[in-house]
A = this chain, B = another copy of it.
Amino acid sequence: MNYSPITETVRTRICAELGSECALHAPEALAPYGRDASELCHTPELVILPKTTEQVSQLLRLANELRFPVTPRGAGTGLSGGCLTPFGGVVLSLERMDRILAIDADNLVAEVEPGVITQTLRDAAQAKGLFYPPDPAGMDKSTIGGNAATNAGGPACLKYGVTRDYVLGLEAVLPTGEVIRAGTRTRKGVVGYDLARLIVGSEGTLGIITGLTLKLIPHPKAVAGMAAVFPSMAMAMRAVSEIMRRGFLPSALEFMDHKCIGLVRDLLPFPAPEGQAAMLVIESDGAAGQVGADIEAMAAVCSELGATGILRARDQAEAGRVWAARRAVSLRIHDSAPLYMSEDIVVPLGNIAELAAELPGFEERFGLKVYAFGHAGDGNMHLNVTAPDKSHKPRAMEGARAILARVLELGGTISGEHGIGEAKMPFVPMELSPASMRLQKGIKRLFDPNLILNPGKIFEDL
């Protein structure tokens, strides 16, 4: 595609229609919008910060007329470059559309604008005794619109499902500038094709989400947690499988390998072992009378499967420190190595021990250090591939490709929750068949005939 640059004339036209108070174009103002949490960087030519759906619609109509690309952005916490601008053009940041319009306790729904911070929504729901479960690691910064665009996951998704399962309906501005409602405001609905859930997870390539109706559920009355340390990752993974097989459905079942433990040891509220150990962090929520018993039973499974230590947080503050350590892993890996690629694979539960056991082989073969942590209970492992210098990139890509090929052999998928964006685009044809790709590209062209919305993402060519 040949896109028009954002010339002075184009910018003036945009500002005339949308109002100049929503435009940023000074280089120092643009710079932060050129990055997300990946290694990629593409600085946009202009940033637009709308406050209304109408402004979003106006911008997209102009983009079609003048043929410049528009890339939507939440808080820029993504790990795949999905909100960056490899073709230049406009970043449309939804950060100012940040109102919670309703937390409706009668109907157990929330009505929100896309720029609401995930944690803010969770807090507002909890204040009314309600629960919005999806809890991506960056939820203190990430926006609900970005979560919906990427179908974000998180630890609680094992028990409660992913963002998609909480989006009842949405308002979206199509790439043509038309505004549609998709889905419902009710808990069920089967009228026509499921455009709401087609737009959710489409990484801002099919439409810009400008409003969301979210499902809320009663807030669990109690929560209890523990951590367990195992002599090896394979043993920890076998405990994960066994916990699920025995019929427990914990509200979190996270793991980290010994390399990750090493990076966050100072943050943990208890002494964590040295050596090849791996750690599970397990949480149970529900009725006050039940959660403690569940945790004790799961602790017993861990001991039976070879855990060398069972660590209980003695209070809320200690539990908070365990979670802070878990959430800090990603950033500390990022800071620890000049070359960093965040893979986000899922394998069937029964195969996680096998894959874990094979990781040292990949490290050796490709000269890499692979940090593994994530959501063991649903098979979603974050494999952070690092190398001591940036020149190692081609070899690291080769290593990542080999790991992903093995994941697919094991019946898995190459991305569980981070999405494709730009970073994982080269790997997509490993998983999707040509017929599936053809349909998906057809859907893209149907929604966005001039390909002005978020180009250079998901598919290498359209």
Q: Which A231-286 residues sit within 8 Å CB-CB of chain B?
A: 241, 244-245, 247-249, 286
Binds B, one of A31-39, A46-54, A386-394, A440-448: A440-448
How many interface residues does chain A have, given as a range? 35 or more
- Let me know if A12 is at the binding interface, CB within 8 A: no
Which of B181, B217, B459 contacts A436 (CB under 8 A)? B181
Give the distance in Å from the alpha carbon of A178 to the alpha carbon of B436 in the complex. Answer: 10
A144-179 interface (Cβ within 8 A of B): 150-151, 153, 157-158, 161-162, 164-165, 174, 178-179
Specify which chain B residues have a CB less than 8 angstroms from the CB of A290 in the assembled complex: 286-287, 289-290
Chain B minimum-CB-distance residue to A430: B191
A64 CB within 8 Å of chain B: no
A16 at the interface (CB under 8 A from B): no
Q: Let me know if A124 is at the binding interface, CB within 8 A.
A: no
CB closest chain-B residue, reference A248? B218
B350 touches A106 (CB 8 A): yes
Residues of B close to A346: CB separation below 8 A:
184, 186-189
Nearest-CB residue, chain B, relative to A161: B165
Given A186-B348, A413-B189, the answer on whether A197 and B197 have CB atoms closer than 8 Å is: yes
Contact, CB under 8 Å: A190 / B247: no
Residues of B within 8 A of A217 (CB): 249
A195 near B413 with CB under 8 A, answer no
Q: Are A193 and B188 in contact (CB under 8 A)?
A: no
A89-122: CB near B (< 8 Å → 1, else 0) gives 0000000000000001111110000000000000
The oligomer's copy count stands at 2
Measured in the bound complex, the distance between the Cα atoms of B349 and A40 in whole Å is 45
Q: Which of B202, B348, B443 contacts A185 (CB 8 A)?
A: B348
Contact of A443 among B165, B413, B446 (CB under 8 A): B446
Q: Could you say which of B436, B447, B459 contacts A180, with CB atoms under 8 Å apart? A: B436
By a CB distance below 8 angstroms, the chain B residues around A248 are 218
For A411, list chain B residues within 8 Å (CB).
185-186
Query: Quick one: given A161-B165, A439-B195, are A190 and B151 in contact (CB under 8 Å)?
Result: yes
A255 CB to nearest chain B CB (Å): 15
A440 touches B379 (CB 8 A): no
* A135 on interface, CB distance cutoff 8 Å: no
Q: Which residues of B contact A218 (CB under 8 A)?
A: 244, 247-249
Which of B107, B150, B182, B351 lies in contact with A190, CB distance below 8 A? B150
Which chain B residue shows the least CB distance to A437?
B192
Known: A436-B181, A443-B446. A191 touches B415 (CB 8 A): yes
CB-CB nearest in chain B for A447: B439
Whether A201 contacts B194 in the complex (CB less than 8 A), given A106-B241, A218-B247, comes out as: yes
Task: Decide yes or no: A349 and B161 within 8 Å by CB, A189-B413, A194-B198, A419-B190 being known contacts.
Answer: no
Complex interface bits, A345-361 against B, C-beta within 8 A gives 1, otherwise 0: 01111110000000000
A378 is an interface residue with CB less than 8 A from chain B: yes
Q: Report how far A241 CA is from B106 CA in the complex, Å.
A: 7
Closest 10 A/B residue pairs (Cβ): A106-B350, A218-B247, A188-B416, A186-B346, A189-B413, A187-B378, A107-B348, A442-B446, A178-B435, A184-B413
